[in-house]
Each structure stands twice: as C-alpha cells, then as structure tokens.
Structure 1
Amino acid sequence: MSDKNKLIKVNNQVLKRTDNIISITNKIVNNQISVTKEDFEWWDNLEDFWKKIFNFYIEKVTLPPSPLDEFAFKTNVKKNGLNGYFNGKQLQDLGITDTPTKKELQEILSIKKIRITEFGINNISPLSRLKNIESIDLRQNSIVDIKPLKDLKKLKEIILLSNSVENIENLKELKNLVVLNLDENNIIDISPIKSLYKLEILGLYKNHFTSIKSIKNLPNLLELSLSYNKKIKDLNFLEELKNLKSLSLRDCNIKDITILKDLNKLENLDLGCNNIRDISVLSYLFHIKKVYLWRNQINDFSPLYKLQNLEKVSLGENNITEFIYDELIKNIPESKIYNRM
C-alpha cells in the first residue's frame, strides 16, 4: 500500500472517531435541561413539602450534627431514596425550602430517579416537570390521579404499589416502560397497557378488573403478578406469553391450569389458594425452581417428580397423607418441601 493510501486510511479513521465524538457531544448537549423563567415560577409555586424533597435529591439538606449520621446520609439515602433515611418528621425538620440557583434547578429538573414511599402523597403534579426522569417509586401513598406522568416519555420504571389509582389511561403513551407495578390499587380497566410492548415486569395483584386479555399483547413479559383478582375468568391470554419466567396467580379461583403447558420458561409459579385438583401439566415445565401449591385440592403430586430443577415446593392445606409426603421426599430429595404456606 502506498504512503498516500495509508494516509487516506488513517485520515478516514480519524474522521470516523471525530464523528463519534461529535455525536456523543450532541447527545450530552441535547439532554441538558435549559432553565427558564417558567421553571423558577414553577419552583415558587411548589408546596414546601416538594421543595424539601427536590432539594433533598440534590443533597441540599440540613445534615444531622453527628459525622456518623452524615455518613449514613451519603451512603444509605442516596441509594434508597427518602424512605431509606428520612420519615415525614425528619423531612419536616431537616428539609430545606431555599430557592435553588440556576445550576441547582437544572440538576433538579434533570433528576432521573426518585423514590418517595409512605409519605401520604396524593398530589404528584410537581413531577410533571421532570422530563428526564426514568424511574419513579411512589409505593404506599394515597395517589389517585396519575395524569402528571402522562408526558414523561423517558420513564422506564413506575412503581405505584398500594395506592388508590383507578384510571391508568394516562400510561398508554409511555412506550419505554419496562417495569410497571400497580399492585394493590382500584383499577377496573387495564386495556391502556396493551401498547406498552417493552414491558418485562408487570404487577397487578389486588385490583378490580375482570378482563385481562390486553396482556396478551405484551410478548416481552418476564414477570407477571395477577394474584388476588378473583374475577378473572379466562387464562387463555397466557398462550401468548412464551417468555414468562415468573407467574403469580394466587387466590384467583382457578380450577384448570392446562393453559400453562407451553410456558416452558417458567421458573417461579405461585398457584396457592385456588381450587386446583390436577397438576399434571406441571410435568412439562422443566425449568421450574419454585412452585407454590398450598391450599388447593390436590391428591396426586407425582408430576413434580420430573422437575429436576425444583428447589422449593409449598404444599400445605392439600390432601397430603404421610405416605404422599414420604413419596415426595423420596422423589424430589433436592427440594425444600413445605407442608404449609
């Protein structure tokens, strides 16, 4: 190769690296939040509670005098969020409502993860300003209206376990969601989730919906919890969820589990507290590690004998005789067998 050709090749490589650097720089610039006058007006209109929370998340807080407490703050709080260190009274005592500088407000508006649990929150409208946020954990509050989340398009995780949410229509455009936990709410219609194709983890136990066919449109689901929903009539939607690794159907008035036959990637299965008699289908689920079958009407546990990966079995409150129990011990000796919940 001539020196001229070598030079051209080297220059092309340099140009390629330069293009990559420019691309990365552009991404950084594009992700930066430009603070406006409206942003400061938003801050001025916030309740003191939210000012203290946002200041907390940029470590603008009155630290306890003890060096040990300061260490706990810098390690535990930053990792676990407000519930990791503060309770409501501590936030009231140690929180700061000072107006942030432009740089601090930019940092607040750029928050990517927030966790505020057990604070009795019912109004989450201040969160609508956090356009870069990716993860929100608001479990165990008093939230009904989740409309403020509607335009937070970068969200990948929402945890609203144990609130009072009824309508989830405003979630349907959050296409980047991977984790959605709506356990223990008052949801009647779950159809808005049918467009959330990236979902991998979905929690819906203890709600009030009757139809769950919308879930069949979520082929990437790995974990699904539907426990304590006794109005579920049809499990046929499960046929489409071939990638499921964890499924919870505890206390759902289930009798027939034949539909599970082709879910051969399942590793964790909770069928406790139902009306199941026949578990022969489980013999096809070779990857099962943990299975919960307590409080059913099962007489024959032999299908479990074929499950070589089984680690834990819960069988309490079935028709288990001493003979059956001895057979279980003999045929699945590597498993921990719990003759109770």
Structure 2
Amino acid sequence: MSCHFKYTKETNLSIPRTAENNNKIYYEVKIVIKDVEWSVLRRYREFYDFHEKLTHSEGHVIAKSLLPPKKILGNKNPEFVEQRRKLLEEYIQSLLGLFNDKLPRAFIEFLEFNKYDIVYLLQDLSHYFCEFGDSLLLTSKEYNLSSLELHCISERLCIPCPEADQKDKYDFSHVLDFCSQLDIVSVTPLHAHEATEGCYYNAVDVPIGKSNLIPKNLKFNMNAFRNIKELKFYGLSTENISDAYFLKTSLVKFYVHNTTIRQINQVLLCDSVHKDVPNASDCNVWDKLQHLDFTGNLITSLDESIKLASKVKTLILDKNRLKSIQCLSSLSNLETLSLAVNLISECLDWHLQLGNLKTLNLSQNRISTLSGLRKLYSLVNLDLSCNQIENLEEIDHIASLPLLENLKLTANPLAGSVDYRPRVLARFYDRAPEIILDNEHATGMDLDMALVLSALNKAKINVNSIS
C-alpha cells in the first residue's frame, strides 16, 4: 500500500505520455510510491488552476513562473505538446522536492493521493466523520467500508502520526472513534457508491480506479472495531482478515456472500495459516456467534471448523455446491438450517446431526425421497419446494413428525397431481387441520376430502396387516 509519509524517498512523479480526447490534450501524470502506482489525466487548464491555488495558499512560497506559460495559438502542435509535457513533468517533480513529506491539500487532491495513499485517504475519511459521524451514528450503527479503507486503517495504526494528521478535522482519531461505536460493518471490494452488490464478485480481481491495487490482495485486521456485533462480507474473501481476535469475542452474526470460498475453515480460521481444527487453540473459538450466513459461495462440503462456532442457532448455506452435510452434530444449539439452491439429492439419517432443528429449508435441490428426515422430531417448518418429489408415499416419512406445522411442496411433480392438497393432508390423519401446506391453511373442502382419504388409507393398512 502506498504511504508517501513512510516512503518519501521512494516517491516518483512523471508524465510519460499525453492523450487527446474530444479535441482536448490531456497529460497523464504517473505517481509511484514504492510498489504502488496510479495515474491521473489533467489538462493544462487544470495545471494552471492548481498552480493558482498553490501560489495563493499559506505555508509555501511558490513562484508563478515555475509553471510553463500559456499559449493561445498552436497549443496542439505535436512538438509543442511534447515540449510542454517535459516542462510539466519538471514542474511537478520540483513541487514534490519542495514539499517533501508535507504535501499541501491542493497537491494531494490534484494528484489523487487522497484516493490511494494511506495517510491522505484517511484524512478525507477523518474529515467526513468529523462533520457527519455523529449524525450517521444517530441514524444507524451500520457502515460500509471498502477493502482499501480497512487496509488503510490497519496500516495507519502501525505508523507514526504525520504532522498534517494533527489538524483537528484530519485527525485519525475521528476514524477510530467512529469505528469503535459501530455495531454492524459491511466489507466490500469497492466502496458502496462505486459498485452494485451484483458486481462485487467480479470487482475483487480488478484494479481499484487507475491504480495497480487489487482488492483481494489487501490484508487488514479488525482491531479498530472492538464492539461490532455483525460483520458482512460481500465479494471479498474473509482470508483478507489478518487478525480476527477481537471479532471472536464480540461477533454475533457473520455474513459471507458472493465469494470464492470453498470451505468453512476459510471463514472461521480466516487468520490462521493452518486450517486444521485439531491444532486450533481456544483463541480460535467464536464465543458469541449465533448466526452464520454463507449465501452465494462455492462451498462443496462442511468441515470440522464449524465446531469453533458451537453456539450457532442459524446456519444459512444457500446457493452453494453442497451434495450432503457433515460435521453438524457439534452444533447442539442449531435451530434453523437453510440449504436452498444446492446439489442435494438425498438426506441420509440427518437426525444424527440435526437433533434439535426447528426449521429446515431444502428448496431448489434434487431430492426425491424423504426417508432421511423421518426422525427430525423437533422440526416445525420444512421447505421442500422445487425438488423432484413425485410419490405420495414419501410424505409418510414426514407425516409422523409430531411438531411439523409448515410444509412447502410447490413445484414438485407431486404438486401437479389431481387433488394434490387433500391427498397430502390425508397422510397427516388427525393432524391435517394443523398443517399449513404451501403457505395456506386447509379449507373445509380440503379437510373433508382428506378425512375420507385418510379413512381409506387406514382401511387399506388394516387389510394389509390382516393378510
């Protein structure tokens, strides 16, 4: 990450080329600070206005003659443009040598140091929080930060305080004070105004602005956020977190959406080099975590790291690549499990892992048989919509569940059959009036037909038992 204050001697400015757009000449200014670089396009008019600001500002004596003069006629002549490019390059290099590590605000904004440099980006953020922080916190204790902003905050905690940072409105303490009061933080590859949620996934590999900074390469810790209860990651892997110690003692809800993670340990052991649980210490346990949402990732299986969040009550794994479940027996507090839009075709003896489950969402999978759900005795809500259930007899496996109240079977082959509703309700016998099927209570007509069908079912069972 760029830090002119830290790498003053490794900061270089140049104007390597020009560009013409809409019959206007632009000069490309390239800024390099150690390994980080970015560029800005500026017209001569912008150089002129910038120079006027400098010459009228306090603190520096800048000669007006330092800037190459204007030229009214022939200013697009290739030879003249090339000569001016060289003179403008000498001009900005002279200013950099004059200012050294104490860059004036006009210089910072003209060359966009406030977009890519740790100190100056955070000065802008400090100024913003100084003016609007209190009103933002009164409205909501939730705030969105980009990976670049979080990286800057983490790195800024490790460097001495620049002199310019001591000015009231630019003081870094405004950022720290604001962050310490947040309850919910959302993290995105780009800032919220730079991308919609749908393109976060693609933005993680794309350079930020006109720089060579890549969001997925920016590591950060969460040490400035001592009180957050909810953390939301969109498009960015949690492995960007280099230190999650304080998160593990305070976080209640954790959301990770639209990333490339394939294993749970990439989240729960995000700051550990070794991802195997036997080597995990007590400092890896997520003490207060009750809600985990991993919607829209590439998770193919569940690993033993899930036991590090043993107090979880809600686990959402929608839109992944799961074919089965494992390692959930350690979640004795789990009440809600959502596995919608996965690749699950069967549920073999799930009661061995989900003993206390109340809500199960298996919609949009490939399930055709329900025998593996027959002993989920605490289940109240079951969503099986958009699967491949065709045989009415499969309902018998769940009809004996004593607490089941809400059942969804829409968009299964069975749901398109004649008298579907009363035939399904009939499998519940005396409990038919208690069942809400596909979000609808049974009508009187449904129950009358279900009563007849259930009586016929009983008679058929009795005949079969006698024979």
Sort the TM-score into its range (normalised by shorter chain).
0.5 to 0.7
Residue type of the alignment partner of 2:254: I
The equivalent of 2:438 in structure 1 is 313
Q: Confirm or deny that 1:143 pairs with 2:236.
A: yes
CA deviation map 1:217-273 (0-9, x unaligned): 322111001111114554323433221111001122112212323323222211011
Sort the Cα spacing of 1:165 and 1:303 in 2 relative to 1 into closer, same or farther, 3 A. same
SS in 1 for 2:222: helix
CA deviation map 1:162-205 (0-9, x unaligned): 33333432404343221110011112242021442111110111
**Counterpart among 264, 286, 289 of residue 405 in structure 2:** 289
SS in 2 for 1:215: coil
Contiguous gaps of at least 5 residues in structure 1? 1-43, 64-69, 88-96, 316-323, 333-341
CA deviation map 1:103-145 (0-9, x unaligned): 8625634644324578348457444324634433425x32134
C-alpha contact (below 8 Å) 1:264/1:287 kept by paired residues = yes
* Partner Cα separation in structure 2 for residue 218 and residue 157 of structure 1: 15
* Partner Cα separation in structure 2 for residue 178 and residue 144 of structure 1: 20
Residue type of the alignment partner of 1:180: L
**Counterpart among 162, 174, 184 of residue 113 in structure 1:** 184
Aligned-pair CA distance for 1:82 = 3.7
* Partner Cα separation in structure 2 for residue 239 and residue 327 of structure 1: 39
The equivalent of 2:427 in structure 1 is 303
Equivalent pairs, count: 257
1:1-341 to structure 2, matched below 5 A, reads 45=118, 48=121, 52=125, 60-62=130-132, 73=136, 77-78=139-140, 81-82=142-143, 98-101=170-173, 105=176, 108-109=179-180, 111-115=182-186, 119=192, 120=200, 122=204, 123=215, 125-130=219-224, 132-138=226-232, 141-148=234-241, 150-151=244-245, 152-154=247-249, 155-170=251-266, 171-172=268-269, 173-176=284-287, 177-191=289-303, 192-231=305-344, 233-276=346-389, 277=391, 278-298=394-414, 300-301=423-424, 302-304=426-428, 306-313=431-438, 327-328=445-446, 330=448
* Partner Cα separation in structure 2 for residue 222 and residue 126 of structure 1: 33
* Partner Cα separation in structure 1 for residue 137 and residue 253 of structure 2: 24
Structure whose residues are more often strand by fraction: 2
* Partner Cα separation in structure 2 for residue 145 and residue 294 of structure 1: 36
CA deviation map 1:65-116 (0-9, x unaligned): xxxxx98x565x415x247xx99xxxxxxxxx93333x86256346443245
* Partner Cα separation in structure 2 for residue 49 and residue 223 of structure 1: 41
* Partner Cα separation in structure 2 for residue 50 and residue 282 of structure 1: 60
* Partner Cα separation in structure 2 for residue 49 and residue 266 of structure 1: 50
The equivalent of 1:27 in structure 2 is none
* Partner Cα separation in structure 2 for residue 51 and residue 268 of structure 1: 49
C-alpha contact (below 8 Å) 1:287/1:309 kept by paired residues = no
CA deviation map 1:250-307 (0-9, x unaligned): 1221122123233232222110111222211332233333221012233530224514
* Partner Cα separation in structure 2 for residue 275 and residue 211 of structure 1: 16
Residue type of the alignment partner of 1:287: L
Residue type of the alignment partner of 2:118: N
C-alpha contact (below 8 Å) 1:50/1:126 kept by paired residues = no
* Partner Cα separation in structure 2 for residue 167 and residue 51 of structure 1: 37
Residue type of the alignment partner of 1:153: K
Residue type of the alignment partner of 1:310: I
TM-score scaled by length of structure 2? 0.46
* Partner Cα separation in structure 2 for residue 46 and residue 329 of structure 1: 70
* Partner Cα separation in structure 2 for residue 262 and residue 290 of structure 1: 17
Q: Aligned-pair RMSD on alpha carbons? A: 4.0
Identical counterparts, % of pairs? 21
* Partner Cα separation in structure 2 for residue 329 and residue 165 of structure 1: 48
* Partner Cα separation in structure 1 for residue 448 and residue 127 of structure 2: 60
C-alpha contact (below 8 Å) 1:109/1:129 kept by paired residues = no
Residue type of the alignment partner of 2:379: L
Contiguous gaps of at least 5 residues in structure 2? 1-116, 147-168, 193-199, 205-214, 270-283, 415-419, 451-467
Residue type of the alignment partner of 1:282: I
Residue type of the alignment partner of 1:144: S
TM-score scaled by length of structure 1? 0.61
